[in-house]
Amino acid sequence: MSQRLGETQRKILLLLLGGIALDLSGSPKRYFQVLKAIEKDWKEINKQSLKRAIKSLYESKLVSEKENPDGSVTLVLTDKGKQKALTYDLDKMEIKKSKQWDGKWRVVLLDIPEKIKKIREAIRFHLKNLEFYEFQKSVFVHPYDCKNEIDYLIEFYDIRKFVRFIIADSIDNELHLKKHFYLLN
């Protein structure tokens, strides 16, 4: 059974994978010194939520403690934690190509507002990086199962209400798509 991680837990795993140590000395100043170096999102994580997420990661054996000579404690990824963190590494995420195509198209529709244009551009970048075909400016198509990857992107960027995911049996110009994805016999 696969364990579902919360957004804060996923971010902590990615931080640790990236080599950032979280000092558990109990000093709020120390927590926020570490977090300050991270993207804007991290400023929104409150201390209580962070502590709960770290405790949960520790209990699930995804992280362990290492005591430092000065008495502080550093959180480090276990092998299991490294494996889980890699699952969520955006830069290394890829869609697995099955040996036999199931004949279905995965269609992602974006309607991301102008006020969060940077997120829209990031999503478009990730979709292209995942080898989606840009069918139209806000419509991307892929022939292989990618629901988990799309769900992760949606949750990571918190854009559920702006993205639709469709599985289609056919598309009227699919010959072009089949050529693009090398699906013709």
pLDDT (tens digit, 9 = 90+) per residue, 97-151?
998 999 999 999 999 999 999 999 999 999 999 999 999 999 999 999 998 888 8
**Domain assignment present for 2:** no
Same domain (yes/no): 25, 78: yes
Residues 157 and 109 in one domain: yes
Radius of gyration of the chain, Cα coordinates, nearest whole angstrom: 20
pTM: predicted TM-score of the whole model, two decimal places:
0.56
Only one residue has tokens 């100043």, namely: 29
With a cut of 70, say whether residue 92 has pLDDT above it.
Answer: yes
Mean pLDDT for 91-97 is 85
| Mean pLDDT value of segment 11-35 | 57
- In the chain, the percentage of residues whose pLDDT exceeds 70 is 70
Please say whether the beta carbons of 106 and 147 come within 8 A: yes
Looking up residue 163, the CATH number of its domain turns out to be 3.30.70
100, part of any domain: no
Rounded Cα gap, residues 8 and 72, in angstroms? 22
CA dihedral 33, 159, 122, 148 (to 10 degrees): 100
Q: Which has more confidence, 2 or 103? A: 103
Last residue of a domain, one of 89, 120, 147: 89
Sign of CA dihedral 161, 167, 171, 176: positive
**60 and 111, same domain (yes or no):** no
At residue 80, does pLDDT exceed 80? no
Q: Is residue 79 part of a domain?
A: yes
Q: What is the pLDDT of residue 1?
A: 38
Q: Look up the domain containing 126 and give its range.
A: 105-180
Are 69 and 112 in a shared domain?
no
Could you write out the three-class secondary structure of 7-51? HHHHHHHHHHHCCCCEECCCCHHHHHHHHHCCCHHHHHCCHHHHH
User: 64 forms bridges with which residues in the sheet?
Assistant: 76
Residue 185 maps to a domain: no
Is there a single domain that holds both residue 42 and residue 113?
no
pLDDT of residue 83: 63
Q: What is the CATH number of the domain that holds 20?
A: 1.10.10.10
Asked whether residue 135 is domain-assigned, the answer is yes
